[in-house]
Structure 1
């Protein structure tokens, strides 16, 4: 393998809120970690516990790790979880999808489709879902940020391959408060130029000298950051934990209940002029690409068939609707001097919905109507204040003369339950003048994927402010060809994708690590052997080629309308079993040398695997007759990574620079293209982060440069050598602030260079810089008033687009970050 080396040019600096002290809470109690971090900052060192056998000074370990403290999220309240993660160095986050459904990757690893394929999102040391890219069930949908958050910690590459399953790219862990500090907070928040109201609370502390607890939660209601005309954001969360300490260990019980609705912002239409290489993106008349959405107060309930082919009414306002009921146990006990056993178990009952409109195409209204219903087609308003009236001038409908041919991504998440257990033993012994550290454990999880795809289609206007309406298309004779604008199948996707999944994935993984420290040198090596199985069934016409539409009186009025002649359903005899096993080995080896008290050098090489789950189904690797894999097929991908760098930490100054190279094999399913891919990727780059403090002034910054290529594509050799879609060469963030005690002000700046919309490397997504600003005032003790602006300068920051080049009509379907939103909050601490 060829490893290319880059030289880091300039030092980027960072503040203590990002303290770069990591923990995935997998080895040490959170309260111990907090104390270690405090001691580390005081001495200019950072204590980490993520991806290592036990808590260790950051300068003494050969992995790349970082952390975000809750202080940042309180000052610059994120509008969604993904916006927080953009502040982690080396982590690429497309924070344009709303409260969930973000695309997340690390260090140039590909995002060919959605979710976080090579990255695992965790809460308190265990995965939210075993697989971060379940279709319509991305892990970030089931996480919420509130006052329970202690910190967010990450490991990029390295030992993430062996200290967690299905996460060769890295681990991002959301760590909860556990009552270390007595007291609580109550916070009221409101949008100033957008409609959202929220209440947060948290309270915790000690019941007695050895028992402590934490209780927290939130509730919110409102449109959210975009103008949709109804309460798209509504719901909340409650979390609680109680910890009992005893000599040599502790035990903790915790629970979580989440029931929240929010919008998934899918690509929306935007006007693009200029050339593919130098495009100019601008909003369409009457539709702002970063303030509006195709969601509307006038498009609500949709009639369809459920997974059992029974008529059911679906509510678009459900949006992303996660319902999570979790109960967990965590404990640690000392069994001998220096030897501990740590046990973690969690059961999460997970269900809900994912409903959001996807524009299959957008164009001139009359042209779209003629294409569907023939020359002379007529348009009628089918919802809203003009419902039933004919559109007299289609060229002005919606204020722009456009219609969107929408496929409604409507998925019933019947069961995504996750059951996980991780047990490990670790300790150390003296050996040859040094110390040998030993860790061994066993990980087991069960992930259910039980979902029904209930897609329909409809015509709607392209209007902002939540005013879009359905449009009924009639032929020249005045006969409706839609049911008030609705079609009972994914008509604009070739009637595809009426599916049901009923799957269970079992993952088992023994793992072990040996580390040896002598003098200024420490080395370590770790192995993880994953073996698992997939059991279950899938149903859908695509499995057999049987037509997936039928004539059916779905509304029960006794009349078969033209729309009811093509009702999508799951035909009998289209169920196939899935039954296969797999196994693979991951490994990681690294070395770290402490040059001085403040400087160290490190290097590491790793190979980590990622089992593919539901994205293999309905694809060429599964034998639908036997349920097994086709000959030679492997249901997993490997990532091979080499990294090395320098770490410096001394008092108020810290700098960490890492060179990296990764080779990735990926098999994936591209949803909007209805296509399976198999590609090899290569990525080489450097990530730099740091911090600096001087008096009231402090600053953090991090930047990642990545040179990434498609090394080979199994189905399209023309893509070989191209840059992967949406992979920018450079991403960066910086957060300067001034803290005068009673008053704190600052900014959080996020930026990216340009990238390509698709791997053919034609149409570009422009570079952009987003500035978030905050002002916090403490008029009296224990009261904080905060005013913050997200995307202060209202930039259009495009993260993805469906079109590979500029269409003839100039209308591209793309996702932009949210426009400017200004909010305020008051917090009472007691």
Structure 2
């Protein structure tokens, strides 16, 4: 039997215990824990060569290893919220977050214009693959030395498909001898986790690092079963050479994590001043539609054959990756840099999505006709008349098989530095090659589920004559509530060749640089669309049930070819001037492209269904133009960085949940501010971004022009005050957002919210630390999205909130 502790009681007890430990701790020097990049730290992300922050003409920030530990993020999306300029909607669990930068749109999900990287190479070539968002395949653990982000600027020319910016998780490589092991327990939620890492020298010229985690538990919301279970192992070994180094990298990720999708939420008040509250027994931030009564389902596979799926797979990343990295000075001032990675990527995405919510009788009548009756299909009340609330949730199960997201990436560049005119000139030329597979199959079914977060039961319908219209809650083998759409399969390979070059000139005070990139993309493969609704004995019992007359199949005999090429130029130029040793100013202008992938494939207006050629070249690539003007100051424990920005963006996209096509342009103007201050044991880091964004053109819905893009808040911010004593560290990580609009119609508002994460670390003896972390300490309901753009007649929308309060305790031993 699982025991779930009272959240408030557990939090109180944990604080009392930790305080008691602190009172008996022996003195120990407190570590310096700073979330911002120091002025002498070398920038390595999306640049031609390493430079310190005050000498670069780009907007760059970082989060240190200690700051990551203090924030105790439950996902990488929560971690990214601490980066200025980044809008990270961390409400989907450990993946499937919507992540954007500087007002660039999130029309359909994922991180379209922002690339997620590990050690300078992309996790996936495209960050917004439907049901394969890049963050699903990314985990933060003790392997991470720091997180570095570049917004705009040179990301356009030193990475493909990243015109908005790059977030890069940089690994430890064994420079420091030693390691750590940490055990973490969820005090008021199901989480048992072990993290460990170790690195150091094998010989005078060889060093290594290895680390990873294993965790298991229900997760931050009540699901009724262990929804999060898996592990990651990463390792590298480095050989130092007289003129450089070579390094081998390895990664294995095998994980299961619940993917939280929108949940029914009641809204009162008005669109401009709404009041959000959960339904009885269904909390928006502590519950989920996942249930122990809804775990294994029968459906069809990619060959239209019967197959069993396990909903407990959730977001199921399987990654085996191996890489090679080298940097060698082959002549005086001439350096060769090579990075290669092969990743075998597969998995699953399965999670229930509410297609709507209505009165139980209306839903029943819509399926079985007037006079239909309802009963429990399973659970402790199986067979009894449905006596729950007067509501019922029609659910489409998003069941997507990820056969392959394999990718091969190689980035090779040659740089030469020369003395010229009282300064240095550095010329760089390189070639980026990648191959990204995209093979997924959508195997969706439709069900009826009671609206409760406490192990909801499936519901059956009988018509007025008593004839069963469902089968154990199953309504149809397909997206019945979406008009029987969305049985589809993709099998497409994207090959990219991108030569690039840059030239920079540096003196003691002045730095000028320019860079160009030419991306050539080749798309080859096929897509298979949904076919007719047929009658099929799916379960093979020799009889045909009503759901078996609603079977959507794939058109296996008539796949649509994909056979097109596209190419485009990107460029970036900037200047940085160091006024004093502490103060610098910079300006930059950039243009970068993002090639569209699966989101445009099934639109017959985009691609010929017979030849696979582009019918409209404009849909293949979306461009982002950005102008930046910034200032940086760093001296005596105080750092302040500010950047004014202006961005215009094109957008061709498709949204799976609404079947909506987007064809638009956007503009955004704003200000990023970031700073830190330390005085003795006290430190403060903070950042905030103000963005004024609007839809400047909408080719499909002109009425949206001039309106703010959906979910785009004008202000996002984070503040982290911290006190480091001799024996303890205490602080808080405060993350917030102003109000935004649920949809582009600018009617229903998503309210402003602030999330407070608190941390308390005690060092009772050398190399031992006890930690208490409270994520969302005040149990705030913070809504990041809504399917509805205005309050409907029944006052219930489908919305997604951040997780509720979760408190964890950890014991860490360094050695």
TM-score, normalization by structure 1: 0.93
Aligned equivalent of 1:409: 398
Aligned equivalent of 1:525: 514
- Check if 1:471 corresponds to 2:459: yes
Cα deviations across residues 179-214 of structure 1 (Å, max 9, x unaligned)? Answer: 111111111101001111111111111111111111
Aligned equivalent of 2:700: 715
Rounded Cα–Cα distance in structure 1 between residues aligned with 2:751 and 2:48:
43
Residue 758 to residue 329, structure 1, CA distance change in 2 (3 Å): same
Measured after TM superposition, the shift of residue 483 of structure 1 is 1.1
Rounded Cα–Cα distance in structure 2 between residues aligned with 1:441 and 1:560:
61
Superposed, 1:169-208 pairs within 5 Å as 169-208=164-203
Aligned-partner SS, 1:384: coil
Of 349, 363, 367, 1:372 maps to 367
Superposed, 1:718-729 pairs within 5 Å as 718-729=703-714
Rounded Cα–Cα distance in structure 2 between residues aligned with 1:436 and 1:204:
37
Residue 200 to residue 518, structure 1, CA distance change in 2 (3 Å): closer
Aligned-partner SS, 1:597: coil
Rounded Cα–Cα distance in structure 2 between residues aligned with 1:522 and 1:346:
32
Give 5+ residue unaligned stretches, structure 2: 1-30
Of 594, 597, 606, 1:613 maps to 597
Rounded Cα–Cα distance in structure 1 between residues aligned with 2:290 and 2:536:
28
Of 703, 708, 733, 2:688 maps to 703
Aligned equivalent of 2:640: 655
Measured after TM superposition, the shift of residue 594 of structure 1 is 1.0
Of 52, 56, 71, 2:51 maps to 56
Aligned equivalent of 1:95: 90
Of 438, 445, 450, 1:456 maps to 445
Aligned equivalent of 1:480: 468
Aligned equivalent of 2:21: none
Query: Residues 45 and 649 of structure 1 are in contact (CA less than 8 Å); yes or no, is this contact kept in structure 2?
Result: no
Of 720, 728, 748, 1:735 maps to 720
Rounded Cα–Cα distance in structure 2 between residues aligned with 1:751 and 1:85:
13
**Greater shift in the superposed pair: 479-488 or 271-280:** 479-488
Of 99, 108, 112, 2:103 maps to 108
Of 302, 308, 313, 1:313 maps to 308
Aligned equivalent of 1:679: 664
The two structures, once aligned, show a CA RMSD in angstroms of 1.2
Query: Residues 36 and 676 of structure 2 are in contact (CA less than 8 Å); yes or no, is this contact kept in structure 1?
Result: no
Superposed, 1:481-500 pairs within 5 Å as 481-486=469-474, 487-500=476-489
Residue 45 to residue 200, structure 1, CA distance change in 2 (3 Å): closer
Measured after TM superposition, the shift of residue 57 of structure 1 is 2.3
Aligned equivalent of 2:337: 342
Query: Residues 18 and 67 of structure 1 are in contact (CA less than 8 Å); yes or no, is this contact kept in structure 2?
Result: no
Query: Residues 267 and 814 of structure 1 are in contact (CA less than 8 Å); yes or no, is this contact kept in structure 2?
Result: yes
Cα deviations across residues 433-455 of structure 1 (Å, max 9, x unaligned)? Answer: 22111111000000000011001
Superposed, 1:148-297 pairs within 5 Å as 148-297=143-292
Cα deviations across residues 316-349 of structure 1 (Å, max 9, x unaligned)? Answer: 1100000000011111111112221010110000
Give 5+ residue unaligned stretches, structure 1: 1-14, 22-40
Query: Residues 20 and 46 of structure 1 are in contact (CA less than 8 Å); yes or no, is this contact kept in structure 2?
Result: no
Cα deviations across residues 731-779 of structure 1 (Å, max 9, x unaligned)? Answer: 0001000000310000000000000000000000000000000100011
Aligned equivalent of 1:560: 544
Rounded Cα–Cα distance in structure 1 between residues aligned with 2:198 and 2:576:
41
Rounded Cα–Cα distance in structure 2 between residues aligned with 1:631 and 1:78:
42
**Greater shift in the superposed pair: 664-673 or 699-708:** 664-673
Rounded Cα–Cα distance in structure 2 between residues aligned with 1:170 and 1:105:
9
Aligned equivalent of 1:603: 587
Measured after TM superposition, the shift of residue 17 of structure 1 is 4.5
- Check if 1:772 corresponds to 2:767: no
Cα deviations across residues 362-417 of structure 1 (Å, max 9, x unaligned)? Answer: 121122111221111111111111122222x4xxx1xx332110000100000100
Rounded Cα–Cα distance in structure 1 between residues aligned with 2:524 and 2:555:
22
Residue 171 to residue 809, structure 1, CA distance change in 2 (3 Å): same
Query: Residues 607 and 616 of structure 2 are in contact (CA less than 8 Å); yes or no, is this contact kept in structure 1?
Result: no
Query: Residues 771 and 809 of structure 2 are in contact (CA less than 8 Å); yes or no, is this contact kept in structure 1?
Result: yes
Measured after TM superposition, the shift of residue 19 of structure 1 is 5.3
Query: Residues 150 and 166 of structure 2 are in contact (CA less than 8 Å); yes or no, is this contact kept in structure 1?
Result: yes
Aligned equivalent of 1:425: 414
Aligned equivalent of 2:574: 590
Query: Residues 35 and 685 of structure 2 are in contact (CA less than 8 Å); yes or no, is this contact kept in structure 1?
Result: no
Aligned-partner SS, 2:417: strand
Rounded Cα–Cα distance in structure 2 between residues aligned with 1:469 and 1:816:
23
Rounded Cα–Cα distance in structure 2 between residues aligned with 1:93 and 1:765:
15
Rounded Cα–Cα distance in structure 1 between residues aligned with 2:189 and 2:692:
39
Measured after TM superposition, the shift of residue 814 of structure 1 is 0.3
Measured after TM superposition, the shift of residue 593 of structure 1 is 1.0
Residue 19 to residue 58, structure 1, CA distance change in 2 (3 Å): farther
Aligned equivalent of 1:35: none
Rounded Cα–Cα distance in structure 2 between residues aligned with 1:632 and 1:752:
37
Rounded Cα–Cα distance in structure 1 between residues aligned with 2:131 and 2:88:
17
Of 528, 533, 537, 2:526 maps to 537
Measured after TM superposition, the shift of residue 513 of structure 1 is 0.5
Cα deviations across residues 687-739 of structure 1 (Å, max 9, x unaligned)? Answer: 00011000110010000000000001001110000000000000000100000
Measured after TM superposition, the shift of residue 49 of structure 1 is 2.5
Aligned equivalent of 1:762: 747
Aligned-partner SS, 1:368: helix
What is the total number of aligned residue pairs between the two structures? 783
